[in-house]
Amino acid sequence: MVEIDSRALFNGAAAAISTIAVVFFIVNVEFGYSPVSKVALVFAFLAGVFAITQRTTDHQLTVLGYGVIVISVVALFFDAVNTFDVGNTPTVIGLLVLAGILFYLGTRLDEDSRFVTGTRATRALGVVAALAAVVLVVDVATGGLVYELQPRNQVEYAGPEDEAVVASVGVTNPTPLPERVRTPNYRVCTAGNWSAHRLASEPNERKRSVQARVSVRDGYDEYVFGYGRKTYPVELYLTADVRGETFPVRTTSACPDEETGPPYIALFEVPEDRPYGRPV
């Protein structure tokens, strides 16, 4: 029967909890800043783990610390692959390179399973922590992405339940670091008199309300690199009785409470907990 002493128990528990915490932070935590800052924080923590492995005389703690580092680096690799959608071939090549690095590092261990002295590892921790702090300060100080809504003057619809581009969103990154695109919550509603454009699904049936909604085609996990710019279309979906008609587009602060006058499309920005708009 394998005997586990108290030191082994605490070492194993610390390694397991550290690994779970780092992997959870990498995979599940919605970080509000650049992914570079996220990676920098992870490397700062791993540098601390590495310093412990080089300073301790406990061989078991050293091995467990290496396990935390290796698993965390692999998690970072797969997070980067999914974030930037690099494809299968680069992923396989990256894994092979990572495996080659691990094999090489295995040959660099001394007889005590160390890479460097404890003093050098501590100095390395100080350098990595300082660099991580600089990256985070630059990220926070330079601000995030700048979004600019550029609506069209009018939109033309070919037929019922059609879709058309009603605006575009320009996304500019004023920072030197890549930033994730999180477009504002844009909504749309119909204003003015739309009674002539209501749809009836069956004869003698009461006509349905005109429905309108918008969607920003910004993809999934899109990023704008440092000092870059991207533009995304804003598509309007309109359920109405229209045949090649053109409607004006206006930007407003909220959905206008207008039921008279020429019909038009109102485009506005709202918080996440607000509804889509008002049917007419």
In the chain, what is the greatest distance between 2 CA atoms, to the nearest angstrom?
Answer: 90
The span from the CA of 254 to the CA of 209, in Å, is 19
**pLDDT attached to residue 279:** 39
Termini Cα distance of the chain: 76
The size of the chain, in residues, is 280
The pLDDT score that the predictor gives to residue 218 is 83
Q: Which residue matches tokens 């619809």?
A: 157
pLDDT value of position 171: 95
Q: Mean pLDDT across the stretch 44-62?
A: 95
How does strand 223-224 pair with strand 179-180?
Answer: antiparallel
Q: CB-hemisphere CA count at 13 Å for 150? A: 11
Q: What is the pLDDT of residue 86?
A: 83
DSSP-derived letter for residue 199 is: B
Kindly report, residue by residue over 59-79, the tens digit of the pLDDT: 999 999 999 999 999 999 999
Q: Which of 137-146, 159-168, 234-243 has the weakest average pLDDT?
A: 159-168
Q: Check residue 16 and report its DSSP letter.
A: H
Element holding 171 (H helix, E strand): strand 162-172
Main-chain dihedrals φ then ψ at residue 161, nearest 5 degrees = 55, 35
Whole-number pLDDT of residue 271: 79
Higher pLDDT, 69 or 223: 69
What one-letter code names the amino acid at 229?
R
Question: Which of 43-52, 182-191, 229-238 is most confident?
Answer: 43-52
Q: Please say whether the dihedral angle defined by the alpha carbons of residues 71, 73, 78 and 82, taken in this order, is positive or negative.
A: positive
Look at residue 272 and tell me whether its pLDDT is greater than 70: no
Least confident piece of the model among 222-231, 245-254, 269-278: 269-278
Torsion angle of C-alpha atoms 45, 141, 179, 82, degrees rounded to 10: 10
